[in-house]
Amino acid sequence: MSVLRVQGFRRNVVLCALCVLPHYAWAQSTQSQAERQEFQDAYGKHRQSRSSFLASAPNHHITPKRDNISLSLEMELVDLIVAPSQDDLPKDFSELDQRLEMTGWSVLPLIAFSADRFGIGFTGEAGKRQVKYLDREAESDTSAGTFHEEYSETQYTGVGIYGFVSLRSSSLPNWLGGTLIVGGRSLSAVEETRGTRTDSTTDSPSTRLKYDVRAYDFGLNVAATLAKRFTVFPWINHRQVQLGSIKDGNEKLAESLGDSVSVPVDMDRSLIWQSAPSLTYGIDFAIRIQRFEVHLGGLFGYLANLNRGADRIQDQGLSLSVAYDLKSR
């Protein structure tokens, strides 16, 4: 009789454990999602603080010149790590047990044709982003240890068109002029994600997803040519980004994705496309060498921001643009 009671007790313990473990996994996942959102909010505030004073103007900020063709290229390298908010962080964030990483690159070529006071530009864009969120705790005498990882790689390409109008006035000197810019880009993104891993020794199967991105821009700049080959370029730009529906490899709406995939994908998209403030501004500096015009605002901004946010964020991203002008006739 006593044997039967012991077996029943063991069976109840096992059943209780099976009930508790899924709840524990769900609670751990929910906690990690909340903590990752905190990381992304911190990065958004960091981007806001970096968007002032020194920065290269966006590639589509073209100043119209009579019978002129402008060829330009904007390049960006992304190298970001966001760490937890604590006082004793090491200098190398890449070894932290909890961190958010984003690396990648993008290139934006543009060709613009302009008359005396107006013009039109055609642009393309290609890029890649790798996003990784890690939240783990090593096994110890008092803890069984945990592992939570989200990883994805996104590649995108697209084209765009911009129109720009000169705001010159006879009351202003010849070396000073403004430009109004309106336009946008249409991009197609492919994201390969393995969702959430809770076991470091097992690779989850990857899922390939697609979605569209629409970016609309409204900008204004002022070009002040202070010397023959040196221009100071204050600018401001407002961008509205719209993300399309997520589709699977068969072009069907991916509405049946589980939370372990859909939640990380939504957070990846938010980090890549919506973490930057919609309103950006800065002061750019352009040096003309022959027909080449090199914009140095991004480089100066990189140097000025090396230690900004260093208590929690290591942002070693860099942007640089170069332009070449030639007469159409």
CATH number assigned to the domain comprising residue 121:
2.40.128
pLDDT of residue 23: 42
Average pLDDT, the chain: 81
Integer Cα distance of 263 and 101 in angstroms: 17
Distance of CA 197 to the CA centre of its chain: 23
**How sure is the predictor about 28, in pLDDT bands with cuts at 50, 70 and 90?**
low
pLDDT tens digits, one per residue of 138-168: 777 677 778 899 999 999 999 999 999 988 7
pTM of structure: 0.80
CA distances, 41 to each of 22, 37, 104, 185 (Å): 29, 6, 20, 26
For 148, the domain range is 2-327
| Number of structural domains found in the chain | 1
Measured between alpha carbons, how far is residue 225 from residues 115, 222, 286 in Å? 19, 10, 9
Helix runs in the chain, H state only: 2-50, 259-274, 297-304
